[in-house]
Amino acid sequence: MDFSYTDEQIGLRESIIKFARRELNDGIVQQDKDAAFPRESWRKCSEMDIMALPVPEKYGGVGANFLTTVISMNALGYACKDAGLVHAIATQLLCGLQICLFGSEGQKEKYLPPLCKGEIIMAQAITEPSAGSDMMSMRTRGEKNGDTYILNGSKIFITNGPIADVIIVFAVTDPQTMGLRRLSAFFIEKDTEGFQRSKPLAKMGLKTLQNGELFFEDCRVPERNILGKEGQGAIMLNESMEWERILLPAAHIGTMERILEACIHYAKDRTAFGQSIGKFQAVSSKIANMKMKIELGKLIMYKAAVLKDNRKRASLEASIGKLFISESLKEACLDAVQIHGGYGYMTEYEVERDLRDSIASTIYSGTSEIQTNIISKLIGL
């Protein structure tokens, strides 16, 4: 078991960290207040080929393996303080991975080059008002009518939804079955007749990330816009959830590493009762726990990524990692605010924004409770 990075991975990680610190962190406090999507930062990330990492070179990508993509997301989460931007990029990567694995040659040639360049923003639409992690309870229907499908239904909380140019929408195409062939996935472009979307939803955190509702009313989608094959949607969702539950926690670990450094620095500099507060066990224990959870989180993250690179299932590892890392991030952010005291509650020190952003990590991509259920099922309970 070799946990060392290759020279290429080290160089890529260092270049992303330098780039993010130099280009992505100006004006974040104001952007957070305005809940504004940072399009200029998005453009800069596309020029750095971050969105192109897992895409083959023939489609304008970098051709990196999944582990390298995970390491890159870790670096971005560490150096970029805008968690909303990082999440938006993760969604773009996930859509690219889906197209690479399931798309036709024509779909790859049409969507992957502009996706890699950031010229189009993509989203995937799964969650509905009454169906989140329970994907078999989806109500959005896609009924075949000749060489088209007519979609009716709605989605909610969709990342990138209000600003996306192309959305991968999951819908029920075989309502008579509750098996794997119940769902299919469709490409829907923003100007498609019968498709509408809401303004961005107001949120507690991740304010620069644009989430919204999508509505489909007799939305006609040509048969050529099916991603993969009819009835392949559930298989695609299972794969996508594994990737997502590795990519996003990789960024979360990067955020935890940044928070750890900030807490160490503050605990050394801040004095009370004649000594640095880091000398008090109540403070040092919190910081030691952060370090412990970062190192443990890295191990499960790397294991899951390597399994995917070897074309193996990583359902258990992805769920363990998602549960452990997201809960650890939330706890680390809460402890960071506590360590910083009154300053931690102030916008200026930014750890309060990290705390607000961290709450969502235990909800999206399957809540912590859902991850516990998945783990229990996979170990035979």
**Catalytic residue positions, numbered:** 244
State how far the alpha carbon of 119 is from the alpha carbons of 39, 48, 116, 193, 208, in Å: 11, 13, 8, 22, 19
Q: Answer whether 281's CB lies under 8 Å from 208's CB.
A: no
Q: Answer whether 295's CB lies under 8 Å from 224's CB.
A: no
State how far the alpha carbon of 22 is from the alpha carbons of 39, 81, 118, 211, 245, in Å: 16, 12, 20, 27, 28
53: which 2 tokens? 């990492």
**SS3 category, 47:** helix
Question: Which residues have a Cβ under 8 Å from the Cβ of 377 and sit 6 or more positions away?
Answer: none
Question: If you search the block for the tokens 């070179």, which residue do you land on?
Answer: 57
Cα four-point dihedral sign 257, 25, 43, 356 = positive
DSSP letters, 86-98, are: HHHHHHHHHHHHH
Q: How many Å apart are CA 276 and CA 266, to the nearest integer?
A: 9
Helix (H) or strand (E) holding 153: strand 148-159
